[in-house]
């Protein structure tokens, strides 16, 4: 296999050395998701969208990584004037290299989080673009169920829905809905060993590192997962699908 794709990271939280390590390990395409922690104003997101589609994209290009972006309001930073961000999304979706919405979702399932999520589902639906949805570390089953219910109410086509940080606890629920399971490789989510041991269940998903500076993360997690699965004799077709082809197809890259 000639290259790998990381389907979810946060480039603004990554060091140059981290991005360089990804490039040297074989990552040639990556999706950077929007996140503005504790955002108070819509302008915080507007500036962030410009950064990831401009400066950081050029920086990655210099290392040989084609960096694509998804945009949206993250549940860890919902500004008081969040409808202004929703109204502006269609214009930002026109920027070259923007391939969908994300990272969106809920942590608590509050009415505010539900309203923001539903509005973004509707934008993804109307523009026929994929949307990356966060699942929290706690209350995962009820939050995932609520997320899928809101997606159904918004009439979003299941094939556009990417449920991230999937583990065995919610995998069946995600598959039954018809959404794409995204698998985050790190100690707090799915380890390379757990991925291999449960390959039959995970083989229809796609991998990511979800790198941020919020807790221990490894920007080369997808690379290491690829190497581990290959050393264990997993089918090259399966490995290629979860580390490249699935992401290329759903994001049309």
> By the 8 A CB rule, do 90 and 41 touch?
no
How many structural domains compose the chain? 1
For residue 27, list its beta bridge partners: 4
User: For the domain that residue 86 is a member of, what is the CATH number?
Assistant: 3.20.20.140
pLDDT per position as a tens digit, 185-220: 999 999 999 999 999 999 999 999 999 998 889 999
Q: Which residue has the tokens 């920007």?
A: 219
19: three-class secondary structure by DSSP: helix
Residue 45 belongs to domain spanning: 4-251
Query: pLDDT averaged over the chain?
Result: 97
User: How does pLDDT run across 12-51, given as a tens digit for each residue?
Assistant: 999 999 999 999 999 999 999 999 999 999 999 999 999 9
Residue of 129, 113, 11 whose CA lies nearest to 60: 11
Q: What is the distance between the alpha carbons of residues 60 and 6, in angstroms, rounded to a whole number?
A: 13
Q: Are 57 and 17 in contact, with CB atoms under 8 Å apart?
A: no
Helix 42-53 crosses helix 55-63 at what angle (to 10 degrees)?
30
Mean pLDDT of 85-101: 98
């Amino acid at each position: 296999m000639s290259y790998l794709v990381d389907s979810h990271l946060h480039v603004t939280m990554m060091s140059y050395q981290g991005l360089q390590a990804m490039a040297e390990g074989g990552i040639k395409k990556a999706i950077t998701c929007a996140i503005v922690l504790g955002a108070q104003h819509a302008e915080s997101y507007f500036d962030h969208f410009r950064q990831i589609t401009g400066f950081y994209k050029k920086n990655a290009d210099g290392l040989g990584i084609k960096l694509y972006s998804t945009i949206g309001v993250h549940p860890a930073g919902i500004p008081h004037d969040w409808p202004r961000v929703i109204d502006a999304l269609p214009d930002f979706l026109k920027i070259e290299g923007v391939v969908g919405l994300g990272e969106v979702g809920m942590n608590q399932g509050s009415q505010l989080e539900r309203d923001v999520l539903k509005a973004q589902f509707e934008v993804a639906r109307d523009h026929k673009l994929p949307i990356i949805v966060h699942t929290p570390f706690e209350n995962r089953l009820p939050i995932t169920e609520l997320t899928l219910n809101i997606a159904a109410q918004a009439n979003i086509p299941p094939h556009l829905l990417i449920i991230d940080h999937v583990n065995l606890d919610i995998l069946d629920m995600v598959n039954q809905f018809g959404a794409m399971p995204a698998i985050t490789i790190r100690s707090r989510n799915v380890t390379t060993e757990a991925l291999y041991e449960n390959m039959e269940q995970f083989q229809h998903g796609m991998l990511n590192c979800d790198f941020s500076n919020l807790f221990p993360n490894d920007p080369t997690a997808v690379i290491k997962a690829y190497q581990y699965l290959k050393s264990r004799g997993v089918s090259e077709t399966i490995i290629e699908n979860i580390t490249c082809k699935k992401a290329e197809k759903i994001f049309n890259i």
